[in-house]
Amino acid sequence: MAYAAFRSIGAYAPKKILTNDDLAKMVDTSDEWITKRTGIKERHIAAENETTSDMGVAAAKLAIERSGINVTEIDMLICATISPDYFCMPSTATIIANKLGLPGVTAFDISAACTGFVYILSIAKAFIESGMKKNILIVGAERLSAITDYSDRGTCILFGDGAGAALISATDNKEEAIIDVHTGADGTYADLLMTPNGGTGSPHDALEGEANACFMQMKGNETFKVAVRTLTKDVVDILADNDIAAEHVQHFIPHQANYRIIKAVGDALNMKDEQVVLTVGKYGNTSGASIPMAMNDVYESGKLQAGDLMLLDAFGGGLTWGSALVPFSPLK
Ligand SMILES: CC(C)(COP(=O)(O)OP(=O)(O)OC[C@H]1O[C@@H](n2cnc3c(N)ncnc32)[C@H](O)[C@@H]1OP(=O)(O)O)[C@@H](O)C(=O)NCCC(=O)NCCS
């Protein structure tokens, strides 16, 4: 049987930075309020002509270069995004594949909001274990600034842009294998976090004259409570199912939505500060890109070593959730 190994990580953050003080000039808020409630200090924002696929390509190039796998060996590309280059089609994955010079590879997007990266990891694992594919590029890329309402202080303080990518490849060595990935969803909470306009579920007249057709809307306080509950259960379950103690995790890399959510989940697992990866302060919430961007920070700091066990945990609109136990298994 083939196993799926997590070979490499890469990420990209656009140059422009939007600080809390910048936001305080746009809506009634303050650096103090945002820092205290979320831990976010700044977020990166794409340039006017920079698309989600452009950012995905930048992250993917790094992941490919670091993987030791030839680009011609990649046989599938999956992109997780809620801010695609185009509404409906073509998928952002096909655009990224084209820009990377990967003609003919299977390419598609999935929509699982902030859980997107864990979902595409589970799909890559399944395709490799079934023997259908050998080298899969997974990309989480978001230009959330395009679907953020910068007059709504309840949401615009949270989100940023960026991308992260990873190469998952087949191995015979069980020691290198991704141990487990859990995913789930519950549509009864759909209205907590959504882009209510612009699809077939919205009233037709909602689109007319609306520049804000695809803006995100959120019930922040309720989302916060469900997030803490779901994320905690998620990691407790995956550790118990695999008989792994939290202390054996080198890097707990949760979705970077809010410092207080991450702290609550980390505390529930008795995680030490050095185990918990925190990048929300400088990137904000980048949805499907947040976990690989955080992982890339650990990699570039030199702290992600071959064999290190990573615990991933995510939660997002849908609602969706997921967790993963992943040893870092680079080829070089
Ligand atoms: C959004 C969030 C920071 C708001 O914090 P909160 O403590 O829940 O705040 P509430 O929504 O209860 O609002 C409390 C007050 O702050 C105000 N407020 C909201 N946003 C504000 C802002 N940016 N600046 C100043 N005040 C703000 C509200 O209007 C409200 O005022 P009121 O009491 O006069 O009505 C928090 O709910 C959160 O992070 N939720 C999770 C969001 C998330 O992670 N979503 C993505 C999941 S993937």
Burial (CB < 10 A; 0-12, 13-18, 19+), residue 184, is: middle
Quick one: 23 exposed, middle or buried, by C-beta within 10 A (0-12, 13-18, 19+)?
A: buried
Ligand 1 pocket: which of 25, 224, 225 to mutate (most atoms within 8 A of CB): 224
E strands of 68-160, at which residues?
A: 76-80, 106-110, 135-143
Write out the residue range of the structural domain in which residue 25 sits.
Answer: 1-332
* Helical (H) or strand (E) element with 6: strand 3-12
- CATH classification of the domain holding 5: 3.40.47.10
Catalytic residue (one of 20, 135, 285, 296): 285
Burial class (CB in 10 A: 0-12, 13-18, 19+), 60: buried
For 175, which DSSP code? G
Instruction: Output the six-digit token pair for 46.
Output: 């794409």
At residue 199, the pLDDT reads 79
Is residue 41 in contact with ligand 1, taking CB distance under 6 Å?
no
Q: Are 294 and 4 a contacting pair, CB within 8 Å?
A: no
pLDDT for the residue numbered 185: 97
pLDDT tens per residue, range 299-319: 999 999 999 999 999 999 999
Contact present, 154 and 298 (Cβ < 8 Å): no
**285 in active site:** yes
Residue 223 CB–ligand 1 contact under 6 Å: yes
Q: Which helix (H) or strand (E) holds 294?
A: helix 290-300
Domains: count for the chain: 1
Any atom of ligand 1 within 6 Å of the Cβ of 221:
yes
**pLDDT per residue of the chain (332 residues) written in tens, 0 to 9:** 899 999 999 999 999 999 999 999 999 999 999 999 999 999 999 999 999 999 999 999 999 999 999 999 999 999 999 999 998 899 999 999 999 999 899 999 999 999 999 999 999 999 999 999 999 999 999 999 999 999 999 999 999 999 999 999 999 999 999 999 999 999 999 999 999 887 778 765 555 555 556 899 999 999 999 999 999 999 999 999 999 999 999 999 999 999 999 999 999 999 999 999 999 999 999 999 999 999 999 999 999 999 999 999 999 999 999 999 999 999 97
Contacts of 49 (CB under 8 A, 6+ apart): none
pLDDT of residue 207: 55
The model scores a pTM over 0.85: yes
Q: Say what the pLDDT of residue 58 is.
A: 98
Is 114 annotated as catalytic? yes
State the DSSP string of 187-254. GGGGGGEE--SSSTTS-GGGTTT-TTTT--EE-HHHHHHHHHHHHHHHHHHHHHHTT--GGG-SEEEE
Res 210: pLDDT: 57
Answer whether 216's CB lies under 8 Å from 194's CB. Answer: yes
Task: Identify any residues that bridge with 98 across adjacent strands, giving them in sequence order.
Answer: none
Q: Could you tell me the two tokens for 122?
A: 């589970």
State the pLDDT at residue 1: 80
Condensed to tens digits (0 to 9), the pLDDT of residues 232-290 reads 999 999 999 999 999 999 999 999 999 999 999 999 999 999 999 999 999 999 999 99
CA distances to 6, 84, 113, 269 from 79, rounded to whole Å, are 16, 9, 11, 30
Question: Ligand 1, from 22, 32, 37: best to mutate by most atoms within 8 Å of Cβ?
Answer: 37
Q: Which two tokens stand for residue 22?
A: 């910048």
Is 255 an active-site residue?
A: yes
Under a CB-based contact definition with an 8 Å cutoff, are residues 94 and 107 in contact?
yes
Predicted pLDDT of residue 200: 79
